Structure 1
Amino acid sequence: MITYEYDRNTLARVEKKLGSLKSEAPKALKNAINQTAKQARKDLATEAQKTYVVKSGRFNKAMTIKNATQGSLEAIIKATGAPMELKDYKVSPATARTGANRPDLTKAKVLKAGSMKGLQKGNIKAFVAKFSSGHASVAQRRGSARLPLKVLFSNSIPKMLGNEKRVYGIVRPTIEQNLQENVDKQVRKILEA
């Protein structure tokens, strides 16, 4: 969860700029914070898509915004979701194969900057399994017996978005800059009206 809220200095600065219209300060801050939250959600999804091999639609669906009001001048971007199956990333082979066509090593790629990594641990190989429901997953056998299968997972979307090094840490300065620009735009809009 990413939260940005105003502080007393920001409110005082906006009231000073507005002069006799200082009663409009909460409205200006509310609009600026909400606009910044929308920009931040888009920037986070874009940066995450640059880093991870996941479609941007998944990031947008996972993030919701609780908008600021004049009484509560904070916007909250909340990302939810469980760990994603490894099949949701780039996997080779992409489909379940049987018999002689079955490759010795299944590979997957989670980070765009990385290469395809083999999923074999010791003598336990990973493979793409298609279940009777039609769902396909990357799985491993849990032991020497054929069943049960262990489906392999990677990070959840909230974990990816909150990554200081790869996503949030890169977008944070932009969010702060956008907030200042949006506050200035709202002040100008009120003064010009």
Structure 2
Amino acid sequence: MKKAILGRKIGMTEVFREDGTVVPVTVIEAGPCVVVQKKTVDNDGYDAIQVGFMDIKESKLNKPLIGHFKKANVPFKKYLREFRIADAPYNVGDEIKVDIFSVGERVDVTGISKGKGFAGTIKRWNARRGPMAHGSKHHRKVGSLGASTFPARVLKGHHLPGRLGGERVTVQNLEIVKIYPEKNLMLVKGSVPGNKGSLLMIKDTVKVNK
């Protein structure tokens, strides 16, 4: 990873390319972010930068965080995240803006997916339902939980009902369609995880660009 920034999901829309094709895009408010801490192998055992995003009042923070920001002599920020960037060309107090990326580059976007609450196996695991007629009483039930003789228990990892969503999800290899540096906006092709206004981590893709 060489480039990374924090952002906020604004919503989805569509744009037209020069050849007239329509492209669905997600609008992301990316940055500006400030470097709050720089970690090195000598002091911390690994190379990384800690980045802050979105201003917040001092009264909203606890004492350890207030001291952390004051030590770095940077504005108070709502979100703090770490990016493992080796030999990062940043120092504490430097600002990271959306113009570190360019149109056509590919990025990986990480966020917390929408929470769906308690869900059954059909919605949660895309299981097939049972017959809906001829006296069948097995419509949307779980189905077989395993053999009764051996091992006579439900094996770990079995697809069962439970909470759906609300997990950390990364969508890889998304194309940057447009960038508006003056507005700190980035338009990426396709959808990204999370609700409107949720925090996103945008990094250059780990996949090889063809």
TM-score higher than 0.5 here? no
Q: Relative contact order (C-alpha < 8 Å, sep 6+): which is higher?
A: 2
* Structure 1 or 2: more strand by fraction: 2
Tell me the TM-score normalised to structure 2 length.
0.25
Tell me the TM-score normalised to structure 1 length.
0.27
